[in-house]
């Protein structure tokens, strides 16, 4: 994770961002701290902190830093110049910690865990708005696993982690309307128990949840129906209000990068 010390809405690169709708910085700091405390204290997750950097307001969204495989970081190639300055900062941090850095050729955009999520031994790759479909072959070569490219169909759900959230080897939250027919088929085929969320829940970023074991850390304000469905499947829900980060188009999952794959 990365503290929101320099977090602001400094540009508009997704439909949620409006320069005229600024984030309240002290509220953002409190909300981020509450997420951090929940993950570390109550859920006993070990969290490493990437130092914030001036002029890189979206560095807080560490899910986009890259994809970690063992001791290798597959570093992101950001689509928008506004975020490309994060690349060397991330690379230096991981290199110093002994990670090997893998990079895709510059011509391929890839936004890390924002668009690349594991379901068992398969890597699902969201493409179109941020990552490129063509990156999937390169990725497959690096990870040595099957990579399933899924086209994203609605620009409000521009990263895969805004509309798809694997919770364990069998279940995942998803918003079907964010995918095309082929994508819906793939998810229906490879995810044993997909749990579709309503449009209202999807817009509240319900799919941008962090799963820690059987705990699901999710944006506050999701429907009672979804909470009941999750509880029925044996998940415990922890609601977090990340309203200041929604203004940049992100919630809990965007603020976290997994350093180790869930067992
Ligand atoms: N403002 C950031 C962007 O548009 C938000 C990134 C959200 N991250 C994510 N993993 N969905 O790039």
Q: Across residues 153-157, what is the average pLDDT? A: 98
Residue 159 falls in the annotated catalytic set: yes
Q: Cβ(201) to ligand 1 under 6 A? A: no
Measured in Å, how far apart are the chain's first and last C-alpha atoms?
20
Residue 207 falls in the annotated catalytic set: no
CB 241 within 8 A of CB 220: yes
Closest ligand 1 atom to residue 13 Cα is 4
> 76 — alpha (psi -120 to 50), left (phi > 0) or beta?
beta
Q: Across residues 81-107, what is the average pLDDT? A: 97
Q: Across residues 150-169, what is the average pLDDT? A: 97
Q: How confident is the model over 14-38, as pLDDT tens digits?
A: 999 999 999 999 999 999 999 999 9
pLDDT at 32: 98
Structure-block tokens of residue 33: 């701290």
Q: Cβ(183) to ligand 1 under 6 A? A: no
pTM (global) more than 0.85: yes
Which protein residue has the closest C-alpha to ligand 1 atom 1? 248
Confidence of residue 262 (pLDDT cuts 50, 70, 90): low
Q: Cβ(149) to ligand 1 under 6 A? A: no
Q: How confident is the model over 124-146, as pLDDT tens digits?
A: 999 999 999 999 999 999 999 99
Q: How confident is the model over 33-82, as pLDDT tens digits?
A: 999 999 999 999 999 999 999 999 999 999 999 999 999 999 999 999 99
Task: List, in order of start, the domains of the chain with CATH numbers.
Answer: 25-255 (3.75.10.10)
pLDDT at 263 over 60: no
């Amino acid at each position: 994770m990365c503290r929101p010390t320099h977090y602001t809405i400094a540009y508009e690169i997704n439909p949620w961002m409006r320069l005229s709708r600024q984030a309240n910085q002290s509220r953002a700091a409190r909300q981020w701290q509450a997420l951090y405390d929940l993950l570390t204290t109550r859920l006993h997750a070990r969290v490493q902190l990437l130092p914030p950097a001036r002029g890189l307001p979206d560095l807080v969204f560490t899910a986009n830093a890259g994809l970690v495989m063992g001791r290798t970081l597959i570093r992101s190639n950001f689509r928008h110049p506004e975020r490309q300055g994060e690349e060397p900062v991330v690379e230096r941090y991981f290199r110093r910690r002994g990670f090997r850095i893998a990079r895709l050729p510059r011509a391929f955009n890839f936004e890390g865990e924002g668009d690349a999520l594991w379901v068992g031994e398969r890597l699902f790759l969201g493409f179109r708005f941020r990552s490129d479909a063509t990156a999937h072959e390169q990725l497959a070569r690096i990870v040595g696993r099957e990579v399933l490219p899924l086209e994203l169909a609605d620009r409000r759900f521009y990263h895969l982690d805004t509309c798809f959230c694997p919770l364990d080897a069998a279940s995942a939250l998803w918003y079907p309307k964010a995918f095309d027919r082929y994508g819906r088929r793939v998810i229906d085929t490879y995810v044993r128990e997909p749990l579709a969320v309503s449009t209202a829940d999807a817009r509240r970023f319900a799919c941008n949840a962090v799963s820690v074991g059987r705990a699901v850390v999710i944006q506050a304000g999701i429907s009672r129906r979804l909470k009941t469905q999750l509880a029925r499947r044996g998940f415990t829900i922890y609601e977090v209000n990340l309203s200041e980060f929604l203004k940049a188009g992100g919630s809990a999952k965007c603020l976290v990068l997994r350093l180790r794959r869930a067992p």
